[in-house]
Amino acid sequence: MIKTVFFNKEENCLELIDQTLLPLQEVIIKCRTEVDIAKSIIDMQVRGAPAIGVTAAYGVYFGLINPKNREKKILLEELLEQICDLLTGTRPTAVNLFYAVNRVRNAILNLHTGDLDKAAEKALSEAKAIYEEDLAMCRAIGKYGQELIGDCETWLTHCNAGALATAGYGTALGVFRAAKEAGKNIKIIADETRPLLQGARLTAWELMKDGFEVTVIDMAGGLIRNDMVQGVVVGADRITSKGFVANKIGTYSLAVLCKYNGVPFYVAAPTSTFDMSIKYDDEIVIEQRNPDEITKFAGVQVAPTGVKVYNPAFDVTPPELITGIITDKGIIEPIYAETIPQVLGLK
Ligand code: MRU
109 C-alpha to ligand 1 centroid (Å): 30
**285 has a pLDDT exceeding 80:** yes
Report the predicted TM-score, pTM, of the whole model to 2 decimal places: 0.97
What mean pLDDT comes out for the span 162-170?
Answer: 98
302 C-alpha to ligand 1 centroid (Å): 25
pLDDT of 2: 85
67 C-alpha to ligand 1 centroid (Å): 33
Q: Is 198 in the pocket of ligand 1 (CB under 6 A)?
A: yes
> What's the chain's Rg over C-alpha atoms?
20
Among 19, 22, 139, 159, which is best to mutate for testing ligand 1, by the most ligand atoms less than 8 A from CB? 159
pLDDT of 166: 98
pLDDT-derived band at 327, boundaries 50, 70, 90: very high
pLDDT in tens, 200-211: 999 999 999 999
Q: Is 248 in the pocket of ligand 1 (CB under 6 A)?
A: yes
Gap between the Cα atoms of 197 and 203, Å rounded: 9
* Other residues' Cβ atoms within 10 Å of the Cβ of residue 332: 22
What mean pLDDT comes out for the span 71-91?
Answer: 96
Asked if 311 and 294 count as a contact pair (C-beta separation under 8 A), the reply is yes
What mean pLDDT comes out for the span 193-205?
Answer: 98
**160 has a pLDDT exceeding 90:** yes
Please list the active-site residues.
237
Gap between the Cα atoms of 329 and 273, Å rounded: 13
**347 has a pLDDT exceeding 90:** no
Closest CA to 246 of 278, 219, 292: 278
Gap between the Cα atoms of 33 and 74, Å rounded: 18
Q: Is 326 in the pocket of ligand 1 (CB under 6 A)?
A: no
pLDDT of 73: 87
pLDDT-derived band at 215, boundaries 50, 70, 90: very high
41 C-alpha to ligand 1 centroid (Å): 12
